[in-house]
Amino acid sequence: MPRKAASNESPSLSLAEQAYQELKRRILTLQLRPGLFVNERELMELLDLGRMPVHQAVHRLQAEGLIEVIPRKGLVIRPDSLQDMLTLLEARLAMEPNIAALAATRATKEQVTELKQLVTESKRIVNQSERMSFMKLDRAFHGLIAEAAGNQILADAQRPLHERSELIWHLRVMKEDGLVVNQREHTNILKAIIERDANATRKAMEEHLRSLHDRILAGSLER
């Protein structure tokens, strides 16, 4: 595992927050592989940080289900099974359509303009080799919708679910046309928001998440 001086990256963040963000990034991008056994000292060396910030980061990641603490053995990077991913999407399905419906009635003109820009930019990405760039735009699109809903509690609840969903992109469980399908579904969501139609926006987001669920399931069965 290559070392990275996390403390030099974001001086405005606390050391504990830097440790948390860097470890989470490495887990979600599979740089720390599922099933890998580590201990806090190894993570301290990896991040070039002290025990306390790493310990606090591990505690947060354990609470999020990304790390499992095994007494007298250390830590293990928790593998996400297919069922875990489908369950995660089920949780998003219970929340995000209603968040999107709120955004349809509350989004500012500036937020709608930014959503348009994100969708336009995403349509330039057509190759699976660029899926990481699309993933960032996907994160920004869903995050901005949550922000536009004007409910911080919902936005805070949605964020970790969507962050953990990023593992889907790294596991490559979707078919080659996944980017095009996502772009089309994002366009449908945007259209409903532009029209300020809460019901249509709720339906478009629900269809998007159900489609993602079904495509992941179909892709995994073909592997």
Q: What is the pLDDT of residues 94-109, one digit of tens each?
A: 999 999 999 999 999 9
Q: In DSSP terms, which residues pair with 77 in a beta bridge?
A: 67
Task: Flag whether pLDDT at 5 surpasses 50.
Answer: no
Q: Where are the beta strands (DSSP E) in the chain?
A: 37-38, 67-70, 74-77
Q: Domain boundary residue among 26, 61, 77? A: 77
Of the pLDDT bands very low, low, confident and very high (cuts 50, 70, 90), residue 152 is very high
How far from 122 is each of 27, 49, 113, 135, 152, CA to CA, in Å? 25, 36, 14, 9, 26
Residues 1-19, mean pLDDT to the nearest whole number: 66
Top-confidence range, 78-87, 95-104, 119-128, 159-168: 95-104
The pLDDT value recorded for residue 7 is 44
Average pLDDT of the chain, as a whole number: 86
How far apart are the C-alpha atoms of 53 and 34, rounded to whole Å?
22
- On whether the CB atoms of residues 201 and 70 are closer than 8 A, the answer is no
Confirm whether 1 is domain-assigned.
no
Q: Domain boundary residue among 61, 77, 93? A: 77
Domain limits at 26? 6-77
* Residues 67 and 99 placed together within one structural domain of the fold: no
* Residues 73 and 87 placed together within one structural domain of the fold: no
Confirm whether 167 is domain-assigned.
yes
HSE (CB half, 13 Å, CA atoms) of 87?
A: 5
* Residues 203 and 149 placed together within one structural domain of the fold: yes
Place of tokens 């348009």: 116
- On whether the CB atoms of residues 170 and 28 are closer than 8 A, the answer is yes
- Report which of residues 101 and 82 the model is more confident about: 101
Domains in the chain: how many in total? Answer: 2
The pLDDT value recorded for residue 11 is 52
